[in-house]
Structure 1
Amino acid sequence: MSTRTDPLTGEPLAYQGEQPFGKADDLVIAGVLGADCDERLWVPQSDDVSFRPLLFSVSHGYFVNVLRVRKTGILSRHRHAGPVHAVTLKGRWHYLEHDWWAEEGGYSFEPPGDIHTLEVPDDVEEMRTLFHVSGAYIYVDPNGVPQGVEDVFTKLENARRHYASNGIGLDYLDSLVR
């Protein structure tokens, strides 16, 4: 790779042109994995399940978040309307329908149409997984009958209510929307 340098300083030169018209701003969030994360940033889904939103792409129909589970047992049964990418940051989990385990430091891909039941085993005190979810989760009963839907818009509304009521504020939330 060829890099041009400043002839006076020898330092690498940054791109000198204009960015494309309409390009969204970069989004950088410091301390996502830090233990000192403000607890108010975690949006509750139930007593022991919460998520930390990182990006809501309303124009492309996906969201990125860290899911935190502080209980064992069955979390949900769902079908994917789009692809899902996951990186397990802490703990481990699996799907009853598959023989693989998502373990700390591992990556998993879940294809559209897959139906599975997420379980956190008894020996896991806390599970954290970064999920990039395209489309929707369609929550289903054991026979596949739809029970509910979760997508970028329902996640965004849940976060909006939480941040409006806990002092974080909507300006912070708006910074996550693209």
Structure 2
Amino acid sequence: MTAPPSDKAEIVDIGYPYADIVARTSPGGRYIDVPDDDVSPWIPFGDNAAIKHIAFDVRQNLFSNILWVKSPGVIGTHFHRGTIMMVCLEGSVRYLEYDWVARPFGVILETPGESHTLVTDHPDGVKLFGWMQGPIDFYDGDANLVETADVFWFMNHYEEHCRANGLAINKALYL
């Protein structure tokens, strides 16, 4: 199979019968630009990690970010109540519970009902781009629940940092 032919570099009206409903009710597709730290800063997430928030969707409890573990380290055991899809951008990462190591451009899929412990042994750590849905429960080393993070937790993480540092809240991150 080859790619479908494209003989026009212009918008083609495909005649979708529900286009008016889509136009009236959909928030529409969009481009979220996060070119620098003023638009979406790196926000501490523990002692050795930071998060760059990309998008928040309260309708689906969906959030997107880049997690940066800056050097060899651990993001403690956590339990997913939703689906997670991540792409390794830099460095490498593994879970103690599995026998694989994710490297750049590798895709990690985490399904609801799984718990695991994220570890990077790479000297430069790891950067992971992720789309996450639903709450994530974080546990201490004795299996005690420490925190539940959902879209509202991540929005608060972003907004508190912006307010504390005199940064404007980027409304384009809110889908």
TM-score, normalization: structure 1? 0.81
Per the alignment, residue 163 of structure 2 pairs with 164
* 1:93-152 deviation line (CA, Å, top 9, x unaligned): 11101111111110010111111111111x331311001111011112345432211111
For structure 2, the residue ranges without an aligned partner over 5 or more in a row are: none
* Root mean square deviation, CA, Å: 2.4
Aligned length: 166
CA contact (8 A) 1:43 1:51 kept: yes
Letter in structure 1 aligned against 2:155: L
Deviation at 1:59, TM superposition (A): 0.9
Per the alignment, residue 23 of structure 1 pairs with 26
**SS of the residue 2:59 aligns to:** coil
* Structure-to-structure mapping, 1:68-87, within 5 angstroms: 68-87=68-87
Query: Aligned in 2, Cα 1:90/1:4: closer, same or farther, shift over 3 Å?
Result: closer
TM-score, normalization: structure 2? 0.83
Percent identity (aligned)? 24
Letter in structure 2 aligned against 1:12: E
CA contact (8 A) 2:32 2:172 kept: no
* Structure-to-structure mapping, 1:23-172, within 5 angstroms: 23-30=26-33, 37-38=36-37, 41-121=41-121, 123-142=122-141, 144-170=143-169, 172=170
- State the alpha-carbon separation in 1 of the partners of residues 120 and 6 from structure 2: 48
- State the alpha-carbon separation in 1 of the partners of residues 6 and 104 from structure 2: 37
- State the alpha-carbon separation in 2 of the partners of residues 84 and 41 from structure 1: 22
Deviation at 1:13, TM superposition (A): 3.3
Moved over 6 A (4+): none
For structure 1, the residue ranges without an aligned partner over 5 or more in a row are: 6-10
Letter in structure 2 aligned against 1:43: I
Per the alignment, residue 177 of structure 1 pairs with 174
